[in-house]
Amino acid sequence: MNGKNKVWLLTAVAAIVLSLAGCASMTVVGIDESSVEGPKQVRQYGTISPGDITVYAEYKDGSSKKANVSAGNITFDSSKAGPQTVTVTVSGFRASFTTEVMPLTGISVVTQNAAWRLGTQVRVPRTAGGQGGALAAPGNDRNNWPGLEIQAEWQGMGSEKLSDRDISDDCVFSEFNTGTVGRYDVTVTWRDMKTTFPVNVVALQSIRIDRPPNKTTYVQGESFSNTGLRVMGTWPGLSDMEVNGSVGGYDANKLGKQTLTVTYQGKSASFEVEVAEKPAEAAPIVGKWFEKKDTYEFFFIFNADGTFETGGALIGSGKYSVSGSILTLTARSSDAKDTFSISGNELTLTGFNAITGSNYTQTRTRKAGTTGTGIVGTWDSNVWSEFTFTSNGRWEEVSSSGRREGVYEISGNELTRYNESVSVLTFTLSGNTLTLTNENGTNTMTRQ
């Protein structure tokens, strides 16, 4: 071994020796009992924080330093009021000091729910009958009484709110029933102290539709969906809360608007949906059909949505329906478009006559004995005819030359009348050939 290596080895050995010597010097050999200090007063059932205790440990090297104390090494009987000896343990050595456990003088409920909703399931920590009780929810030992705050008071040491754990582990409640409306006096006991507070159980006042369902329009036969429906309930003294009511009144086969009713705890609210006619399946005659003769030509177009139009020698449009081999055509054509005004019992119509190529103005008088609002009613003309307008949008003209009828529409002061006619035909379909037959004859058309 050369000199350099010897120096290194001696240095390492010296470091180890010094380290071992340092560990030995930090060994606790006792406690300076005269140095132990702690709080003079402690709340009954309370604890002492390690940070509130001062104690000095004596070490092997003759030094004395403040020792760290853990909560588990502080012992005394906190349940017993009066002077108590507190024992502190450090590295197996014990010292003590005297404190006074100040008695618990009372408890009080400082905050709770203004009321309970009828039927609410409340998790009461413990009842006088044991764990849980009439309102218990199994499988949970934590307090689930929203808003409940209990305050404890000590002699000479003020007050403090109990923790959730204090309430769930140590409080005992008398039973009450949220299944019946009324006022209940509930007694809570903590550490042999009791207090009584009122609990009100209130009934539902009303419900309202906060948001209608996502789907409010249906086709005939379609099932109702309440997805998106939000119903809120109102209770006296409490905030509104969402409720799950039952929905009734829907008829999948009833066309038009329907009022559906939501019911919850005897209260109801309503909203509207609409059921539309189920679109007809595409009829076999859908498409464009053409007929050409020496003297005329025309075509039919049957659309999948149940409408039709004609062109060529026969011009018109409307709706159609197919039942077996029967084709029903309901045609609509414009009869007239007028500007109208009403003054008392007089109706004035102003328009354009396409036959004469000139403007016209007619004044008609409401027929005696007829009533109506606006244009609804029967209007007589001394010239040639009388008009009747009904409240369901239909019109009729009776004159010496016969009777006409149809539907009308009003937009502002514009009145548009449409003629309507219904034709019933028998049809046969063979490949690309469509044959239509009625009392007036037969037409044979080819699909285009």
- Cα-based distances in Å from 402 to 167, 202, 384, 386, 413: 92, 72, 11, 11, 28
**Is the domain of 360 the same as that of 268?**
no
Residue 130 lies in a domain: yes
Predicted TM-score (pTM) above 0.95: no
Which residues of the chain fall below pLDDT 50? 3-22, 130-143
Provide the residue type at 73 as one letter: N
**Is the domain of 260 the same as that of 338?**
no
Provide the residue type at 235 as one letter: W
> Residue 84 is part of which domain span?
28-102
**Is the domain of 356 the same as that of 234?**
no
Measured between its terminal Cα atoms, the distance across the chain in Å is: 115
Separation CA 326–CA 328 (nearest Å): 6
**Is the domain of 429 the same as that of 322?**
yes
| Cβ–Cβ < 8 Å for 53, 64 | no
Angle at 366 between CA 361 and CA 368, to 5 degrees: 145
Q: What is the pLDDT of residue 356?
A: 65
Name which of 440, 424, 448, 423 is nearest 285 in CA terms: 448
321: Cα separation from own chain's centroid = 43
Q: What is the pLDDT of residue 84?
A: 94
Question: pLDDT for 137-192, tens place per residue?
Answer: 332 333 457 778 999 999 999 999 998 888 888 888 888 788 889 998 989 999 98
Boundary-marking domain end, from 142, 171, 200: 200
Residue 412 lies in a domain: yes
Q: CATH number for the domain including 93?
A: 2.60.40.3630
- Cα-based distances in Å from 14 to 9, 11, 17, 21, 48: 9, 5, 5, 10, 45
**Is the domain of 304 the same as that of 438?**
yes
Q: What is the pLDDT of residue 368?
A: 81
Q: What is the pLDDT of residue 122?
A: 66
**Is the domain of 390 the same as that of 297?**
yes
**Is the domain of 182 the same as that of 89?**
no
Residue 18 lies in a domain: no
For residue 162, the tally of other CB atoms under 10 A from its CB is: 20
Boundary-marking domain end, from 151, 174, 200: 200
Q: What is the pLDDT of residue 6?
A: 45
Residue 19 lies in a domain: no
Phi and psi, residue 411, nearest 5°: -135, 105
Residue 2 lies in a domain: no
**Is the domain of 294 the same as that of 381?**
yes
**Is the domain of 432 the same as that of 416?**
yes
Separation CA 213–CA 231 (nearest Å): 10
**Is the domain of 335 the same as that of 364?**
yes
SS3 of the chain: the string is CCHHHHHHHHHHHHHHHHHHHHHHHCCEEEEEEEEEECCCEEECCCCCCHHHCEEEEEECCCCEEECCCCHHHEECCCCCCEEEEEEEEECCEEEEEEEEEECEEEEEEEECCCCEECCCCCECCEECCEECCCCCCCCCCCCECCCCEEEEEECCCCEEECCHHHHHHHCEECCCCCCCCEEEEEEEEECCEEEEEEEEEECCCEEEEEECCCCCEEECCCCCCCCCCEEEEECCCCCCEEECCEEECCCCCCCEEEEEEEEECCEEEEEEEEEECCCCCCCCCCEEEEEECCCCEEEEEECCCCEEEEEECCCEEEEEEEECCEEEEEEEEEEEEEEEEEECCEEEEEEEECCCCEEEEEEEEECCCCCCCCCCEEEECCCCEEEEECCCCEEEEEECCEEEEEEEEEECCEEEEEEEEEEEEEEEEECCEEEEEECCEEEEEEEC
Q: What is the pLDDT of residue 7?
A: 43
Provide the residue type at 155 as one letter: Q
How many distinct structural domains can be found in the chain? Answer: 4
Provide the residue type at 148 as one letter: L
Separation CA 267–CA 244 (nearest Å): 12
Q: What is the pLDDT of residue 216?
A: 95
